[in-house]
């Protein structure tokens, strides 16, 4: 069962508060364009602004809403960036310790006997 699923509350019909504000702002701008300019200018502005409003309200870029992606872009572009260079580090010194070797005990290993046994095993076994 998935947990922590975040859903925005629907305010006006199927629209959330952000979407309602976006479309409301576009409608106000379109109203002023309709009053001040001719009909061809209004129609061009309508399609451009309505398309922009649709993209801002419903579009997503890699799962992030377009409006949030644009805000993140401007925040990153204009915020101060801190680059830290630590320069040369102090040299690390190690103490040199000498270990005293105790009396070495000689180990006698019969390598010749082992080699002879290995040679005999290799030569006599089937492959």
Q: What are phi and psi of 2, to 5 degrees?
A: -65, 145
Structure tokens belonging to residue 53: 């409003």
Mean pLDDT across the stretch 21-26? Answer: 93
Query: Over 70: is that where the pLDDT of 108 sits?
Result: no
Indicate the Cα dihedral angle 41, 26, 68, 65, nearest 10°: -90
Query: Over 80: is that where the pLDDT of 47 sits?
Result: yes
Query: Over 70: is that where the pLDDT of 107 sits?
Result: no
Helix (H), strand (E) counts: the chain: 4, 4
Query: Over 90: is that where the pLDDT of 29 sits?
Result: yes
Per domain, the residue ranges of the chain are: 10-78
Q: What are phi and psi of 57, to 5 degrees?
A: -80, -40
51-92 confidence digits (pLDDT tens): 999 999 999 999 898 989 999 999 999 988 888 877 776 677
pTM (predicted TM-score): 0.54
What is the rounded CA–CA span in Å between residue 89 and residue 68? 41
At residue 104, the pLDDT reads 67
Tokens 């649709």, residue located: 54
Question: Which residues fall within 8 angstroms of residue 14, CB to CB, at 6 or more apart?
Answer: none
What is the rounded CA–CA span in Å between residue 29 and residue 23? 10
What is the rounded CA–CA span in Å between residue 122 and residue 127? 9
């Amino acid at each position: 069962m998935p947990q922590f699923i975040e859903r925005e509350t629907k305010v006006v019909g199927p629209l959330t508060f952000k979407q309602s504000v976006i479309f409301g702002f576009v409608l106000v701008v379109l109203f002023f364009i309709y009053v001040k300019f001719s009909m061809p200018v209004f129609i061009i502005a309508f399609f451009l602004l309505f398309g922009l409003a649709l993209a801002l309200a419903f579009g997503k870029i890699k799962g992030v809403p377009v409006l949030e992606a644009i805000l993140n872009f401007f925040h990153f572009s204009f915020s101060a960036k801190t680059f830290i260079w630590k320069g040369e580090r102090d040299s690390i010194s190690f103490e040199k310790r000498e270990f005293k070797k105790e009396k070495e005990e000689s180990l006698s290993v019969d390598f010749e006997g082992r080699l002879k046994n290995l040679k005999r095993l290799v030569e006599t076994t089937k492959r």
